[in-house]
Structure 1
C-alpha cells in the first residue's frame, strides 16, 4: 500500500492553501497549473503533493516539458496539460508505440476542466473578516472569469481518440461514488467538481477511428477493454483502458479536482490519489520511474532529451561529461578545503602585544588625528604636545566658576 504524503508537505499545503486567507486576503495567490517544481510547486493548481505521494511509494519522479527519448524510458507518464484539448494524432501515435515497446507501462491523463483557485476563494470567503469580504468576493469573481475564458476558447465537444469530452453540461459535485475506487471512501466528505462529461472510448470506436487514420497498424489491441474505476450516476470520473493480453494501461481522469495541491488537503482525496498510485504499481514488474509531462494545448515532440528535476541549481552535475568526473571533482575540492582552511594539531599561542612600546602609542594617536580629517586641529594638538615637552605654559580652560571671582 502507498503511504500518505509526508507530514511536512501536508502541513505546508494546509497552512498555505487553506488558512492563508483567514487573516488577510491573498491577492497574489499562485495559480500556475500542472507544475510540480520551481516557484509553481506551491500553486493551488500544482502537482507537487501528488508527485510526493509517488516519491513516498518508492518512485523516482522527474518533470518534462516535451516528449523526448528520455521521457519514453519511464514506466509511468502522468500528463497534466494546461488545456482542455486532449492528445492529438501525433502524440497519440507516440503513446501507442511506447505502450507496445514494453510491458507494465501506464499513461495517466488528467483533464484540465477544473481550477483550484475558484475552490480556494470558496473556502476562504467564510473565514475573512467583514471588511475584507468584498475584496475576497472580487477575487473569486475574477478567478471564475479567468477559468471560463480558458474553457470557452475551445470547442464545446471534442473527440480525442481515447475518449470524447462533452463540455456543454451543468456544473455538479459528485456525491454518489461508484466503482472499485469508491471502496473505503466517504463520498459525503469529498468535493469532486465536474464541469464536463468524459466518455471513454469503446472497442468499436477505437477500431473505427483506427480504420480512418493513416496509421492503421496502431497497437490498439492493448487498450481495447474499458473499466470504470470511479464513477457517479452512470458517468465515468476515472476510467481504465487496457487489455487482458497486456499489462499496459491508460488511466483517464475527468479533471484534477482530487489530485491537485489544494484538493489533496482533503483526506478522502488523498485516499483516491493513493489508489491512483497503487493502480500504476504493476505487481509483476519492477517499476521505479514516473515522469510528469507538463504542457499546454500543444505537446512538443523532440528527438533530443529535455528533462529537469526542479530548479535546485545542481542539474549541471548530471550532464555529460561532468556526470563522469563530478564525484572525483567533488572529492578533490573537499580535500582542498580541508587542506587550506582548517587548523590541524595543537593551536599555537601568539606572542602577547607589548604595552610599553611608546611608538605604538604615537601611531594610535596619529591614526585618531587622521580620522578627524581636520588638519588645523591636528597641528594644534601637536603644538600643545611640543609646548608641554619644552616646559612652556599651555593654555588650559580655567576650572573656577565666574561667580567665585567676584
Structure 2
C-alpha cells in the first residue's frame, strides 16, 4: 500500500494553485514537459507528483538527461520524452540488454501526445470571471495552436518495434475502461484524452526478423507475452511486454493524460498511477531505485557516467604519473601543515607583567627620550631630575618659541 497522506496534501496544494491562478498571464503558467526537478517541476506537464508517489512507495528517485551507466544501474527506468519520436534501434538495443542483464527490471515509456496546459485552460473557462474569460479563451487557443504545430511535424504512422502508432485519428476521451487496471477505478470520473492510437507488438512481430543462426542476435527473448493492462473499446492505453521466463518487463503508456502533474489532481488518476507503481514491484526481485529519463528529440547514449570533468581542481591527482607522486606530496603537505600551524593540547599561561619594577620605568623613559632624537633636551631632562632629587630649584625651558617674543 502506498503511504499517501503527504502526497495527497501536496496534490491538494498543486490543485489549489493551478485552479486559482485563472486570471494570470500565460507566462505564470509553467508548461515544461516531462521534468520532475528544478523550476520546471511545478509545470502542469511535469512528473514531480508521479516521482513523489514512487518515493512514497520506498524508491530512490533521480533524474537523468542521457542514457549512461549511472541510469542503467537503476531497477526501474521511466522515459518521458518531449518528442513524438519513439526509441531508436540503438536505444532499443541498450534497453533490451539492460532488461536481460538482471531479473525484476522495468522500463516504462510514456507517450508525448498530450498537453496538460489545454486541460488547464478548459477547467479555467468554467471558473474564471466574465471579465477575464476572453483572455482565458485566448490562452487556450494559443496552447492548442502550439500543441497542434508540434504534432504536425511527426509522421502519421510509425513503427518502433515494440509498438506502432497512428496519429490520423480523432480526439477522444477513453470511456469505459477495461483491463486489469480498470478494477476499482470509476471511469466516469477519469479524463484520459487520446489523440494517437497505439498498437503493441505481438509475439509474431517480435520474432519476425529473428535468426537463430546469428552469432549476436537481438535480445528479444525478454519480450514474449503482450498484455493489455488498461484499454477502452478495444484500444490500448497501457500495455505490458514481458516473458514467463523473466520478471523484467516493458510497460507502454499511450500518453501522460493520467500521469502528469495536473492530471494527477484527479483521485481516479492517482489510482491508476498507483497501479503503475505496483506493477514495478516484482515478487522475487523487489526494485529499489527509479531513474526518470528526460529527453527531447535526441536520446544521447554515453559510455561513461555523467560526471563533470575538471570542476573540483583535484583531478590531476588521479592522472598517471601524478597520481603516484602527487598523492604522496599531498599527504606530506597535510602532515607539514598539521605540524607547523595547529596548536595541540591546552594553551600555555604566559607570566604576568610586573608593574612595580622601577628598572622597567627607567627603560621606558629612556626609550621615549631616544624617540625625540634631541640630545640637548634629553640632557636637560636628566639635569632636572638630578636637581629635583637634590632639592635645588629647577630650570625649565620656556614654552615661547623663538621669534614669537617681543
TM range (shorter): 0.7 to 0.9
CA distance in structure 2 between the aligned counterparts of 1:216 and 1:16, rounded to whole angstroms: 53
CA distance in structure 2 between the aligned counterparts of 1:306 and 1:129, rounded to whole angstroms: 49
Q: Which residue of 1 aligns with 2:166?
A: 166
Q: Which residue of 2 aligns with 1:94?
A: 94
Cα pair 2:227 2:240 within 8 Å, conserved = yes
Structure 1: which 5+ residue stretches go unaligned?
309-314, 322-406
1:38–1:210 Cα change, 3 Å? farther
Shift of 1:306: 2.2
Shift of 1:25: 5.0
Q: Which residue of 1 aligns with 2:15?
A: 14
Q: Which residue of 2 aligns with 1:262?
A: 262
Cα pair 2:68 2:304 within 8 Å, conserved = yes
Shift of 1:254: 0.1
SS at match of 2:237: strand
Shift of 1:3: 2.9
Q: Which residue of 2 aligns with 1:295?
A: 295
CA distance in structure 1 between the aligned counterparts of 2:7 and 2:210, rounded to whole angstroms: 44
- Stretches (4+) displaced over 3 A: 23-27, 209-212
Shift of 1:219: 1.9
1:248-259 counterparts in 2 under 5 A?
248-259=248-259
Cα pair 2:80 2:111 within 8 Å, conserved = yes
Shift of 1:8: 3.8
1:54–1:17 Cα change, 3 Å? same
CA distance in structure 1 between the aligned counterparts of 2:223 and 2:135, rounded to whole angstroms: 49
Range with greater deviation from structure 2 (295-304 or 4-13): 4-13
Q: Which residue of 1 aligns with 2:85?
A: 85
SS at match of 1:300: coil
Cα pair 1:210 1:216 within 8 Å, conserved = no
Shift of 1:27: 4.3
Cα pair 1:230 1:236 within 8 Å, conserved = yes
Shift of 1:7: 3.5
1:320-368 Cα shifts (integer Å, max 9, x gaps): x9xxxxxxxxxxxxxxxxxxxxxxxxxxxxxxxxxxxxxxxxxxxxxxx
1:282-313 Cα shifts (integer Å, max 9, x gaps): 121131100000001211000122289xxxxx
SS at match of 1:177: coil
Cα pair 1:67 1:300 within 8 Å, conserved = yes
Shift of 1:175: 1.3
Q: Which residue of 2 aligns with 1:280?
A: 280
1:28-48 Cα shifts (integer Å, max 9, x gaps): 310000000000000000000
1:202-242 Cα shifts (integer Å, max 9, x gaps): 01111124459x99612212111100000000010000000
Cα pair 1:110 1:252 within 8 Å, conserved = yes
Cα pair 1:65 1:307 within 8 Å, conserved = no
SS at match of 2:207: helix
Q: CA RMSD in A?
A: 2.2
Cα pair 1:176 1:187 within 8 Å, conserved = yes
Q: Which residue of 2 aligns with 1:125?
A: 125
1:24-83 Cα shifts (integer Å, max 9, x gaps): 455431000000000000000000000000000000000000000010010000000000
Q: Which residue of 2 aligns with 1:151?
A: 151
CA distance in structure 2 between the aligned counterparts of 1:81 and 1:48, rounded to whole angstroms: 15
Q: Which residue of 2 aligns with 1:359?
A: none
Q: Does residue 49 of the first structure (1) align with residue 49 of the second (2)? A: yes
1:112–1:307 Cα change, 3 Å? farther
CA distance in structure 2 between the aligned counterparts of 1:129 and 1:307, rounded to whole angstroms: 50
1:288–1:208 Cα change, 3 Å? same
Cα pair 1:163 1:201 within 8 Å, conserved = yes
CA distance in structure 2 between the aligned counterparts of 1:58 and 1:258, rounded to whole angstroms: 21
Cα pair 2:176 2:233 within 8 Å, conserved = yes
Q: Does residue 304 of the first structure (1) align with residue 300 of the second (2)? A: no
